[in-house]
Amino acid sequence: MARKIDNFIGGAWIPPAGGKRFASVNPADNRETIAEVSLSERGDVDRAVAAAREAFRTWRLMPPPRRGEILFRAAELLAGRKAELGELVTREMGKVLAEGLGDVQEAIDMAYYMAGEGRRWQGETVPSELPDKDCKSVRQPLGVVALVTPWNFPTAIPAWKLFPALICGNTVIFKPSSATPACAAAIVETLSEAGIPPGVVNLVHGPGEEIGEYLLTHPGVDAASFTGSCAAGERLEGLLGKMHRPLALEMGGKNAVIVMADADLSLALEGVLWGGFGTSGQRCTSASRVIVNEQVYDRFVEMLVEGAKRLRLGNGLHKETDVGPLINEQQCRKVLDYIRIGIGEGGELLTGGRQVTEGGCGNGWFIEPTVFGGVRPEMRIAREEIFGPVVSVIKCGGFAEAVEIANDVPMGLSSAIYSRDVNLTARAERDLQSGIVYINASTIGAEIHLPFGGWKHSGSGHPEAGGRGGALDFYSRVKVIYRDFSGRLQKAQIDK
């Protein structure tokens, strides 16, 4: 029997006010229901916000190293549950087990890292212009923050948001994607077991945008962080911008891998297969465009088609599977639509392109690893995020043209170049317009202790992850303190 997941409000698991539930199902086998989940209503969100406001009064005063101890315990508990949670990620989200375990490992790493940051939450002390006076900046929490997360990294992305928010002394209301509520509940359970006081972390659920938007625009919320599509993010920017509420947005990508004529083609091939088809292409960092120099284009495309054909599609729990299902029917339809669009625009469908409904794939949402060749930069499949196992290959001339094509899209999250020429790779580091650049490695696999933030339409300029210069900057604000110990009136900015 599927387990029941309730709201977590004020330190207790509470059934939804309206008594309604929705099901979370396994995308590789729709016959398996993972959980019956609380369909939160506005009243539930109001209660969660009230609990978070109340808890903020004391949580903000707990010394950050003590808050860090709780996160350290959470890290240990998550590490102890890694095998169980990795399997849950695979069953609820579909990615292959090695990636499910990797997802949980990212959450564990973030918990340990933020635990340490409790002792490094530095401001600055600088001299004053005046005698017997000093100046310092300190960091303080924002207050109650709303966190809305996607399904593609169902434990890692919540961890990227929750742990820095908590170490900075904020209290949170967390609304995960309705496709992966059980993974979210497991993180919250772990935090609670680690000793997070009641009301500091609250969890609400619900499909559709309505409850997420109600939460993000709630008058009792001070700041918000959202990871999801560009369209949803831009809508929120409009709504929350007017409210002068800090908003961190992590949105889509149309990430390019440049393959130069002098590249190690086997290495580039492995990178493109991993970056393009890992997680079934459902990462905001996925390699969805490959820009290949004309001198090696035919050879590389042949290798890529061969490689894509070798990938085995199936249930992520099975050891031999390379590529799992898409998250749900809606995503599957969207990807099939893009494949039709690509054919209509004159892209050459070189392999894949089909939904697989036979064999072990009969009860899930599977699409074959798909490669389009002969793609031109202006085509929609070369400009829009597909979020599925579809790689578009573009032929190009020299380095300058490759970089121009790579940069000429609205998004700018991650990009990569394969070349043995150190001068070219150094120029690529400088010239590629994205928040992350990889040299001789694919577009995926960012590490948690560095800022993760998209340029252009991919982000709002507040990176996730990382410490100072990253998430800690978003989840806290700076206060400057001037202390005058002269005992007399000292006037600054007065000519003597």
Region of 202 (left: φ > 0; alpha: ψ -120 to 50; beta: rest) is beta
Per-residue binding string, ligand UN1, 120-159, x by CB under 6 A, is --------------------------------xx------
Among the candidate windows 30-38, 387-395, 440-448, 453-461, which touches ligand UN1 by CB under 6 A?
440-448
**Cα–Cα distance measured from residue 485 to residue 76, given in angstroms and rounded to the nearest whole number:** 46
Exposed e or buried b per residue across 70-104, where buried means at least 16 C-beta atoms within 10 angstroms of its C-beta = bbbbbbbbbbebbeebbbbbbbbbbbbbebbbbbb
Among the candidate windows 84-92, 290-298, 441-449, 470-478, which touches ligand UN1 by CB under 6 A?
441-449
Say whether residue 331 binds ligand UN1 (CB under 6 A): no
What distance separates the 2 farthest-apart alpha carbons in the chain? 87
Strands annotated E in 1-115: 3-5, 7-9, 12-14, 21-26, 29-38
Say whether residue 91 binds ligand UN1 (CB under 6 A): no
How many CB atoms sit inside 10 A of residue 395's CB? 19
Cα end-to-end span (Å), the chain: 81
Please give the radius of gyration of the chain, using alpha carbons only, rounded to the nearest integer.
24
Say whether residue 387 binds ligand UN1 (CB under 6 A): no
Is the CB of 64 or the CB of 150 nearer to ligand UN1? 150
Is the CB of 225 or the CB of 227 nearer to ligand UN1? 227
**Cα–Cα distance measured from residue 407 to residue 255, given in angstroms and rounded to the nearest whole number:** 9
Per-residue binding string, ligand UN1, 261-300, x by CB under 6 A, is ----------------------xxx---------------
Contact 492, 129 (CB under 8 A): yes
Is the CB of 166 or the CB of 441 nearer to ligand UN1? 441
Is the CB of 97 or the CB of 444 nearer to ligand UN1? 444
Say whether residue 95 binds ligand UN1 (CB under 6 A): no
From the list 99, 213, 250, 464, the catalytic residue is: 250
- Residue 287 dihedral angles phi and psi, to the nearest 5°: -85, 100
Please confirm, yes or no, whether 250 is among the known catalytic residues. yes
Is the CB of 280 or the CB of 285 nearer to ligand UN1? 285
Answer for which of 85, 104, 203, 446 binds ligand UN1 (CB under 6 A) is 446
In the complex, the smallest distance separating the C-beta of residue 155 from ligand UN1, rounded to whole angstroms, is 12
Catalytic residue positions, numbered: 250
Binding site for ligand UN1 (CB under 6 A): 152-153, 227, 283-285, 444-446
